[in-house]
Structures are given as structure tokens and as C-alpha cells.
Amino acid sequence: MSSRSVPTSGGGRLRGAWETARTLIYAVLIALVVRTFFFEPFNIPSGSMKPTLLVGDYLFVSKYAYGYSKHSFPLSLGPFDGRIFGGEPERGDVAVFKLPRDNSTDYIKRIVGLPGDRLQMRNGVLHINGTAVTDERDGTFSDEDLANQNIPVVRETLPNGVTFDTLDMLPNGSLDSTREFVVPEGHVFAMGDNRDNSLDSRTTNVGMIPMENLIGRAEILFFSTDGSASLWEVWRWPMAIRWSRLFTVIH
């Protein structure tokens, strides 16, 4: 017995196209929900958080860590002001926030001051509420952007016990000694770990950060590249990836 092919009707093709479109719409909606309420990916374009974060790092930020504001939504189009389900950040958190000056540029820094804190840099040493933060030399850092110059690393320990490395590129840098800052209610004070090469709360360009501007807490690195391979240079990708940094927790 011979078999005959059954022609596909125009209605069948339309149903197939609609099923494909519906699947894509569901995928986009799920991605938007995850990005808005759970995790959002970010990449690091500058060296202000060295040695903790390097240019070319890609990380996930937990959106639920500090609750939600209008800035949690794409293009900051949230339907409300203030924060809901909010939790205060802790000293030592690495956080992404919207720059208060324009409420649109994403910045990432380490939170070192909470509401009511008094902060001051004195000869390169951070003081919180009149007490110097514990710091000690912890080797050197070779900066791939500065011809592998060996830069002193200083390990700091905040009052709550959080420990992390900072860079001391200039012993007498312009931000090594500042006036005393008092963090107002509803704000935090943030600094880059690369202390001499960071626009942060010590400068008028950034200043105090409203809680509402916090987007989330940096949690884990999922990818990192040193930039030595272009997108089309597939054969060089394995050498450009910083394998040791993949899937490391951010402290």
C-alpha cells in the first residue's frame, strides 16, 4: 500500500507560529521576574573595587537582600517610592546601587557606614565612630592594567568582624585624609576597595547613598575574562578566561 503525505494547512502553520511566540513570551516574562525579584547579572567595567573585583568580572546580585524599590525594576520604573520588604545592609557588604546624582548609573562599592555612623579617613586609615579600623599589610597585588606593578595590599577588619583586602596605591593620596562624615538616617556610606582610585561616598560625585537606591548585594562571580581575546577570537577564549575566579563567593 502506498502512503501519501498530508499537506499542512495554513491554520496549522499559524498555530505553530503562535505556540513559538507564546513560548518566547513566557521565557521573557520568567527572565524579567527573576531579574527583578531574585538575581540580576552585572559586569565590572572599572578597577575601583580591586583586588576584590577585577575589570571583566561578571557577577550575580541578589535583589531580595535589601528589599525592593523602584530601582529594582528595569529602567527604574517601579510603581512605588521608598522600599518594601526592606532589610538593612551590613558593614562589609559589596552592593550595587544607583548613583544618587542621576538615579540611573549603576555603581558597585563596599558599604562601610550605616545610619548614624561617623566616618573619617586619617592618613589612609578608616575610622568608624572615632575608632581606627584594624588593618595590616597582606602582601602585594600585581595589576595587569599597570604593567604588573606590585601594589601594597592592606587587609581591613570592620567592627562587625568582616575582613577584606584593599589597595594602597598612593601612600599620601588625595582621599587618604578627609573630613568626618555623619551618615544620615535612611542612607549608607560606601567606599571602593581600591581606596586611591575610587569615586565613592568620600567625594561629592557620589556622596551618601539613599537606601532606596540600593539594587542588591553582590553574591557570586560566574564568569571572568582578562579582555585579551576579542569576541570573534574563539581559539583564544580559554586563555582569556580567569578560571580560578569562576563561581567564587564575593566577600
Q: Is the pLDDT of residue 6 over 50?
A: no
Residue 42 falls inside a structural domain: yes
Peptide bond connecting 51 to the previous residue in cis, omega within 30 degrees of 0: yes
Residue 227 falls inside a structural domain: yes
Cell of 65: 537582600
Residue 250 falls inside a structural domain: no
- Known catalytic residue at 63: no
Handedness of CA 170, 172, 173, 177 (dihedral sign): positive
Residue 251 falls inside a structural domain: no
For the stretch 188-227, pLDDT in tens is 999 999 999 999 999 999 999 999 999 999 999 999 999 8
For the stretch 83-131, pLDDT in tens is 888 788 999 999 999 999 999 999 999 999 999 999 999 999 999 999 9
Say whether pTM exceeds 0.85. yes
- Known catalytic residue at 48: yes
Mean pLDDT for the stretch of residues 16-40: 82
Residue 4 falls inside a structural domain: no
Share of the chain above pLDDT 90, in %: 67
CATH of the domain at 36: 2.10.109.10
Range of the structural domain that residue 193 is part of = 13-245
Q: Which of 50, 70, 98, 109 is catalytic?
A: 109
Work out how many domains the chain is built from and give that number.
1
Higher pLDDT, 147 or 130: 130
Q: Is the pLDDT of residue 4 over 60?
A: no
Residue 1 falls inside a structural domain: no
Residue 8 falls inside a structural domain: no
Query: β-strands 163-167, 57-62: how paired?
Result: unpaired
Cα separation, 111 vs 29, whole angstroms? 32
Cα separation, 208 vs 216, whole angstroms? 16
Share of the chain above pLDDT 70, in %: 94
Residue 235 falls inside a structural domain: yes
